[in-house]
Amino acid sequence: MEYQDFPRVADYMRKIPPVYPSSTLKDVAKHMEKNKTPIVAVVDENNIILGAIDITLLTRPFIPDFIDFIEDFSFVSNFGALEHKIFSGEMYPLFLAMDIMQKNYPHIEENDSVAKALFSIYRSKITGLIVQKDRYYRGIISRFDLLKFLYDTDG
């Protein structure tokens, strides 16, 4: 098999529509759920990538800072008033995509190999990569998309 015959990211990526900096986090969450994607690109009006939001970033506003200091909270059955405040719906209207997006999120070119995508996702411990061509958004490739390649789940 020749080098140019190896599978490329473009063969396995999904063309998930991007979101915009002014998108609310609720809209981003709906978008991720609707498109069954763990990552979305944030683009400007010219489709140039400004950043990305993965599911971890989207859930972060609901995690209090002190949680990092608690080694074991398995004995806690609920967090009482804190839960009411966090999950009351007051939080998500306060943030927009531009507030939480990661500006230097890992990306890959659409003509790079699928192996490079797999190794990059693994090494970075992320859910997926933004696919670009010359800084223009093209799609995403996630761990789920790579399962099609690794296990031939389409066949």
Residue 88 binned pLDDT confidence (cut-offs 50, 70, 90): low
Q: What is the pLDDT of residues 16-26, one digit of tens each?
A: 999 999 999 99
| Mean pLDDT over the full length of the chain | 89
CATH of domain 3-151: 3.10.580.10
Q: How confident is the model at residue 76 (pLDDT cuts 50, 70, 90)?
A: confident
* Beta partners for residue 140, in sequence order: 14, 130
CA distances to 19, 89, 145, 154 from 6, rounded to whole Å, are 31, 47, 16, 18
Q: Is the pLDDT of residue 5 over 80?
A: no
pLDDT band at 70 (very low <50, low <70, confident <90, very high): confident
Residue 41: name the closest of 135, 149, 144 by CA. 135
Domains of the chain, residue spans: 3-151
